[in-house]
Chains A and B, each alone.
Chain A
Amino acid sequence: MRGFIEFVVRFKNYITLITLVVMSLSLMSIGNLSKLGGFRAVIVGSIGWIQSVFAWIPNPVALKAENTALRELNLQLAVEAARSRQATLENSTLRSMLRLPALTDYRLITADVIGKTTTQQRNYATINKGQADGIGEGMSVISDAGLVGIVIGASEHYAILQLLINRDTRVSAKVQRTRVDGIIQWEGENTLVLKNVPRTLDVQDGDRILTSNYSPRYPANIVIGIVRQSTDEPNTLFRRIVVEPAVNFSTLEQVFVVDAKVDQERVGLERVVDERLTNRTAP
């Protein structure tokens, strides 16, 4: 017995350590006893109450972290909202473009605008389709809104468009309601002008302007714009008719190239007759 007591006293630290380790491991395995759980619930509840008492004290580090997280979230949501708006607009545009081929008899070649100038006197646009896609010089270009311009040059995979808002553009046009003819021109800024319309003819604000059947270069009945102002030109017999283009050139992204080239036979005949008449009337 004495030997045992001496042993215990001598190795009391190790015996205590083993005992405490065994007790700890036992507690880990029986930690879910209901009595212990209830007792613990009281303690955790009390601690929770103390925590709530001091909850009003701000924690700058936590607030900073929360602020940063909220800012990141806000940024992500803003990007998401912008994408959503962009997708909605694109969806709307594409939907109206899908309807367009059904409204025309011509084959349409879809293309994306990959470059453009809309702030100069002569405005052009570059599209991502060219001769390899069947695009050739002289083809007219439209969008779901209306007439865009005409192809003036094409390479294998790209083409250059002369936009309606170009000093060199002339389009034979008509008023849809009254069939009055005229020539559409661009004189700068954001509007077009319908010229050569006598004062006596009926043109009113809100009238729709279309390409006429007389033009050998543009298909007939393509929307050009809406009459915004119609006034008598001073000292002439004509009216000054301001037309708002149907196409918004600053936001132009997708276009259709109309697969219909200039009717060379018609152009040739008209040229010959014109020359003959000119010669006949010459002195």
Chain B
Amino acid sequence: MAMNFDLRSSEYVTNPVIRYIGYGVIAMMLSVIHVVFLRFLEVSSVTPDLLLIFTVWIALVEGQFTGMIAGFLCGLLFDFVSTDVIGTNALAKTMAGFIAGYFHRPGFIKETIGSARFMMIVAVSGFVHNLIYNFFFLRPMQVSFLMFFAQYGVASTLYSTVAAIFPMLYVARKKE
């Protein structure tokens, strides 16, 4: 994943077609990993949202516009591989990409991702993402939105924020 932000002079980064294909492949891999393997990391039915972290990553590297589109496509991909209503994750991740895009600072990408700032951005984007997702997820049910969000939405946001420490540490190490 280092190709997404690192070595701006390299051919990988400067060639947007290859870069975007790389994003697509990574998104597909993360979707499958999320659905197949994340059950091993499940804590009280809560798992970290890898595609959300990836959306935030793209938004910070590429900017708000690309971040939104990446969020939409990642969400759509996840809607297809999971049993969610199609469009729910797409909408939530679009908003996450939109919010994360506000923190995009060209020329300071490594500084942003390789610091605690990245975790903070994941937390903010994740909170909005889960707020929207839970709203549409619970819409057909007779369940209290606030109770459910407080239990699962906040927990999922925290878990995703904690999981964001791994890409953050990876970039921080590369930075040194």
A interface residues, Cβ below 8 angstroms from B: 12-13, 16-17, 20-21, 23-29, 31, 36, 39-40, 43-44, 47, 50-51, 54, 57, 59, 61-62
Contacts and interface: CB of A to CB of B under 8 A. Distances in A.
B39 A62 contact: yes
B64 interface: yes
A39 B69 CA distance: 22
A13 B81 contact: no
Chain A, interface SS category: helix
A55 to B, nearest CB: 9
B42 A62 contact: yes
A17 B94 contact: yes
Given A24-B87, A57-B40, A43 B80 contact: yes
A80 to B, nearest CB: 29
B141 to A, nearest CB: 15
A13 B72 contact: no
A28 B86 contact: yes
Q: Which DSSP category, helix, strand, loop or mixed, fits chain B's interface?
A: helix
B101 interface: yes
A47 B94 contact: no
B65 A24 contact: no
A238 to B, nearest CB: 80
B90 A27 contact: yes
Interface string B74-96: 01100111010111101100110
Interface of B: 32, 35-37, 39-40, 42-43, 64-65, 68-69, 72, 75-76, 79-81, 83, 85-88, 90-91, 94-95, 98, 101, 136
Contacts of A44: 80-81, 83
A40 B82 CA distance: 9
A59 B87 contact: no
A39 B65 CA distance: 28
Contact of A27 (B36, B87, B95): B87
A24 B68 contact: no
B30 to A, nearest CB: 13
Given A13-B101, A36-B86, A59-B40, A28 B32 contact: no
Contacts of A16: 65, 68-69
A238 B43 CA distance: 82
Contact of A24 (B32, B83, B94): B94
6 interchain residue pairs of minimum CB distance: A27-B87, A24-B91, A28-B87, A31-B86, A24-B87, A24-B90
Contact of A47 (B35, B64, B76, B79): B35
B40 A25 contact: no
A79 B8 CA distance: 69
B72 A24 contact: yes
A192 B43 CA distance: 67
B42 A51 contact: no
B92 to A, nearest CB: 8
A148 B65 CA distance: 94
Contacts of B75: 24
A51 B94 contact: no
A5 to B, nearest CB: 16
Nearest to B76: A27
Contact of B36 (A12, A36, A50): A50
A31 B85 contact: yes
Contacts of A12: 65
Nearest to B92: A24
B103 to A, nearest CB: 14
Contacts of B32: 47, 50
B94 A21 contact: yes
A31 B87 contact: yes
Contacts of A51: 35-36
Given A13-B65, A25-B87, A51-B35, 12 more contacts: A20-B72, A23-B90, A24-B75, A24-B87, A24-B90, A24-B91, A27-B76, A28-B85, A29-B87, A44-B81, A59-B42, A61-B42
